[in-house]
Amino acid sequence: MGQISLPITVRNVTKTYGGFVALDNVSLDVASGEFLTLLGPSGSGKTTLLNVLAGFIRPDSGKVLFGENDITLTPPHKRDIGMVFQNYALFPHMTVAGNLAYPLKLRRVSRAEIEERVRRVLDIVQLSGLGDRQVDQLSGGQKQRVALARAIIFEPRVVLMDEPLSALDKKLREHMQIEVRHLHQRLGMTTVYVTHDQREALTMSDRIAVIDKGRFRQIDKPRDIYERPKSRFIAEFIGESCFLPVEVRSGTAAFAGQVLRLAEAPSSANPSQFLVIRPEKLKIVTDRDDAAGLNVFRGRVKELVYQGETLLISVDLPGGHEIAVRQPTSSAAPPPPEPGADVTLGLAPGDTIIVPDES
Partner 1 sequence: MAVVAEQMPMKVGENAAELKAQARVETLRLGCLTLPGVLLIGVIVLAPIAWLFWLSLRNPNGFTLEHYERLLHPSYLISLQTTFELSFLVTGLCIVLGYPMAYLMTQVRERMAALLMLFVLFPVWTSLLVRCYAWLVLLQRRGIVNNWLFDAGLIDSPLRLMHNFTGTTIGMVHIMLPFMVLPLYASMRAISRDYMKAAANLGASPVQAFWQVFVPLSLPGLAAGIIIVFVLCLGFYVTPALLGGGRVMMWSMQIERNVTYYSDWGAASALGVVLLVMTLAILWLVGRVIGFDRMLGAK
Which residues contact partner 1 by CB under 8 A?
Answer: 54-56, 75-83, 85, 87, 89-93, 102-103, 106-107, 150, 154
Q: What are phi and psi of 345, to 5 degrees?
A: -110, 140
Pairing between β-strand 190-195 and β-strand 158-162 as defined by DSSP bridges: parallel
Instruction: Residue 19: count other Cβ atoms within 10 Å of its Cβ.
Output: 5
Q: How far is the CB of 56 from partner 1 (least distance, A)?
A: 6
204 CB-contact burial (10 Å; exposed 0-12 / middle 13-18 / buried 19+): buried
Rounded distance between C-alpha atoms, residue 206 and residue 9, angstroms: 17
Q: How far is the CB of 151 from partner 1 (least distance, A)?
A: 8
Residue 234 has φ and ψ, to the nearest 5°, of -65, -45
Question: Closest approach of Cβ 77 to partner 1, in Å?
Answer: 5
Closest contact distance (angstroms) between CB of 80 and partner 1 is 7
- Min dist CB 131 to partner 1, Å, is 17
Residues 6+ away with beta carbon under 8 Å from 320? none
The residues, ordered by sequence, that sit 6+ positions from 80 with a Cβ below 8 Å of its Cβ are: 154, 156, 157, 158
The angle formed by the CA atoms of residues 202, 176 and 56, to the nearest 5 degrees, is 80
Q: Which is nearer to partner 1, 153 or 294 (CB)?
A: 153
Torsion of CA 292, 295, 300, 303, to 10 degrees: -110
Q: Which is nearer to partner 1, 133 or 261 (CB)?
A: 133
For residues 348 and 2, give the distance between their C-alpha atoms in angstroms, rounded to a whole number: 46
Minimum distance, C-beta of residue 130 to partner 1, in the bound complex (Å): 19
**Closest among 210, 145, 186 to 5, alpha carbons compared:** 186
User: Which stretches of 52-189 are assigned E, i.e. beta strand?
Assistant: 61-66, 69-70, 81-84, 158-162
- Say whether 214 sits in a helix, a strand or coil: coil
Cβ 76 to partner 1 shortest distance, Å: 4
Concatenate the DSSP letters of all residues of 227-294 into one string: HS-SSHHHHHHSS--EEEEEEEETTEEEETTEEPP-SS--SS--SEEEEEE-GGG-EEE-STTTTTTS
For the bound state, the minimum distance from the C-beta of residue 79 to partner 1, rounded and expressed in Å, comes to 8
For the CB of residue 340, give the shortest distance to partner 1 in the complex, in Å: 33
**Integer Cα distance of 202 and 220 in angstroms:** 11
